[in-house]
């Protein structure tokens, strides 16, 4: 049942992306509000995770989990019935906070409920759900928005959480066993403030940097966040010595699997953040596909991730551990590399079927990397600090995704303008030939030059699909001429976005190689080889899991 809650959170973090055009049209939302609809959730989620995880250790993981599910369900209803951008943004912020309360308890409950040799399977199931939900959101969002069931449109992407949340509350109340730290912990309020401020200074500029044209104060905040985190660590040491009740259990960082696993996670998810955002933009704005078309294109990835996760939470993850993750990295590299070739070879004429094999390979590799991560990271973590450890795992994932979103501004949007001129030249010859039947030779040169200027200006716009003044001037041309310009403009846009998407793919390949190398620092063997609680006597052995 706790996996249903994890699925709701991860689904909501992606499903909104494909619904943004519909939300903008229905609510009349400006770009600033739309940015907060997407980024506000992630920001609130990221900064609240550490606190949410510790709340479970202190007050009971089941109790805090149930409160989080109830709050998440209620805020989903608030989003679904929103009649203004302000209400929707407020609902998304509350959703993020409630997710930060709910999600850390998922891994913590798994960690304290299952015996060491069963945890690998349970964590693998969580990883499979996580990978599947992250991309299923794109498919499901496209289907719901395009079908417009009952005339509800984008509101359905939030309404689907209501029955899931209610079922989660009813079943969770019966089957989840309560657990908490055996120590008498108190909430470290000063640590909460310091951690929240430090995370805000790091994550907010990363998530909003491009939209704000990368202001100087954003870079200043990110730099200042480093001494803020250092101060947080100092205070946590002081708090540990004072009363043994810090917000973050620093003893976790003595475990090799924990530190190395977090490093692998943040590096790999940085590439994931680059890929999924640029992939969505490439398909919808570059190739001009509908949300449904783009969503269904993700199915080979979903199938691959599901199959890989299904095998990883069996004997593979338990027996091979880091080796399985490394094989997954190599498969992911093979899929991404073949995707680079497909995009470059087929250009503007690429189809869903031509993407299928690369996406399937990438999906399998993705599943074998992400599904074992929670088990590996938590394999040497004491159960008494399960909430704190779980929160750090989720925080690093969010920070990695934030770094990836920031990198998109450089490796995708940052190169669009430079590639636009080249792609305009590649289609310019065909445009010139077809214009010859309608205008004079001198006029052809003028139109082709204007076409190139429009292409470059449009690629440099902050919002994909926006029409700059140089493009609006071309709209006044003769309908036959305008039809030719529009036709070749679509081809030019597809080629430009394809070139930029290849850079994103290559960037993801680079982070995957780095993650592969970092995996050598993980302990050998699988999660089943470790029992961090073997020497503990302050907590009774867990009862058998209730299914």
Residue 227 is predicted with a pLDDT of 95
Distance CA 436, CA 383 (A): 75
Query: pLDDT-based confidence at 371, cuts 50/70/90?
Result: confident
Residue the block writes with tokens 């100087």:
216
Query: How many CB atoms are located within 10 Å of the residue 541 CB?
Result: 8
Average of per-residue pLDDT values in the chain: 80
pLDDT tens for each residue of 465-502? 667 777 777 776 777 778 888 888 888 889 999 999 99
Tell me if the pTM is above 0.85.
Answer: no
Residue 513 is predicted with a pLDDT of 96
Residue 304 has pLDDT above 90, yes or no: no
Calculate mean pLDDT across residues 385-410: 76
Q: Return the SS3 of 533.
A: coil
Is the separation of the CB atoms in 241 and 373 below 8 Å? Answer: no
Phi-psi bin for 84: left (phi > 0), alpha (psi -120 to 50), beta?
beta
pLDDT tens for each residue of 187-212? 788 988 998 898 888 878 876 776 67
Report the range of poorest mean pLDDT among 109-118, 121-130, 197-206: 121-130
Residue 512 has pLDDT above 90, yes or no: yes
Calculate mean pLDDT across residues 311-340: 83
Rg (CA), the chain: 25
Query: pLDDT-based confidence at 186, cuts 50/70/90?
Result: confident
Distance CA 419, CA 452 (A): 11
Residue 505 is predicted with a pLDDT of 95
Burial 453-466 (b: 16+ CB within 10 A, else e): bbbbbbbeeeebee
């Amino acid at each position: 049942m706790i996996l249903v809650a994890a699925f709701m959170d991860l689904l909501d973090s992606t499903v909104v992306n494909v619904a943004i055009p519909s939300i903008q049209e229905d609510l009349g939302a400006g770009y600033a509000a739309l940015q907060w609809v997407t980024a506000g959730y992630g920001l609130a989620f990221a900064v609240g995770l550490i606190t949410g995880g510790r709340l479970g250790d202190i007050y009971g993981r089941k109790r805090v989990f149930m409160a989080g599910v109830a709050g998440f369900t209620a805020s989903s209803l608030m989003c679904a019935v929103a009649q203004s951008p302000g209400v929707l943004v407020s609902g998304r912020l509350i959703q993020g906070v409630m997710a930060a309360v709910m999600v850390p308890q998922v891994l913590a409950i798994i960690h304290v409920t299952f015996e060491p040799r069963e945890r690998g399977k349970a964590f693998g199931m969580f990883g499979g759900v996580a990978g599947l939900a992250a991309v299923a959101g794109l498919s499901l969002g496209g289907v719901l928005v395009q079908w417009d069931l009952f005339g509800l449109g984008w509101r359905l992407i939030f309404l689907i959480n209501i029955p899931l949340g209610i079922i989660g509350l009813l079943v969770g109340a019966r089957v989840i066993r309560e657990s908490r730290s055996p120590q008498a912990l108190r909430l470290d309020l000063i640590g909460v403030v310091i951690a929240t401020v430090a995370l805000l200074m790091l994550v907010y500029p990363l998530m909003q940097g491009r939209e704000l044209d990368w202001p100087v104060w954003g870079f200043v905040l990110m730099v200042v966040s480093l001494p803020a985190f250092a101060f947080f660590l100092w205070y946590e040491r002081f708090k540990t010595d004072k009363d043994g009740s810090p917000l973050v259990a620093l003893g976790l960082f003595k475990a090799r699997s924990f530190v190395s696993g977090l490093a692998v996670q943040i590096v790999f998810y940085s590439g994931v953040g680059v890929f999924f955002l640029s992939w969505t933009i490439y398909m919808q704005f570059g190739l001009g596909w509908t949300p449904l078309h783009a969503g269904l294109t993700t199915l080979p990835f979903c199938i691959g991730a599901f199959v890989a996760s299904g095998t990883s939470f069996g004997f593979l993850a338990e027996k091979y551990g880091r080796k399985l993750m490394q094989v997954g990295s190599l498969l992911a590299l093979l899929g991404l590399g073949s995707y680079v070739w497909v995009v470059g070879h087929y250009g503007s004429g690429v189809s869903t079927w031509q993407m299928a094999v690369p996406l399937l390979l990438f999906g399998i590799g993705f599943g074998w990397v992400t599904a074992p991560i929670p088990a590996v990271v938590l394999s040497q973590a004491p159960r008494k600090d399960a909430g704190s450890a779980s929160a750090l795992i989720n925080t690093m994932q969010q920070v990695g995704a934030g770094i990836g979103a920031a990198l998109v501004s450089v490796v995708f949007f940052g190169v669009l303008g430079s590639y636009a001129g080249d792609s305009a030249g590649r289609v310019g010859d065909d445009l010139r030939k077809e214009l010859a039947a309608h205008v004079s030779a001198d006029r052809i040169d003028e139109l082709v030059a204007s076409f190139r200027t429009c292409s470059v200006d449009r690629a440099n716009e902050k919002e994909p699909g926006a029409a700059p003044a140089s493009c609006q001037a071309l709209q006044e041309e003769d309908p036959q001429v305008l039809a030719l310009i529009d036709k070749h403009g679509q081809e030019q846009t597809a080629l430009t976005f394809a070139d930029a998407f290849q850079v994103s793919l290559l960037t993801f390949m680079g982070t995957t190689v780095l993650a592969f190398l970092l995996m050598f620092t993980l302990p050998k063997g699988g999660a089943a080889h470790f029992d961090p609680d073997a020497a503990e006597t302050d907590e009774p052995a867990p009862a058998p899991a209730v299914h």
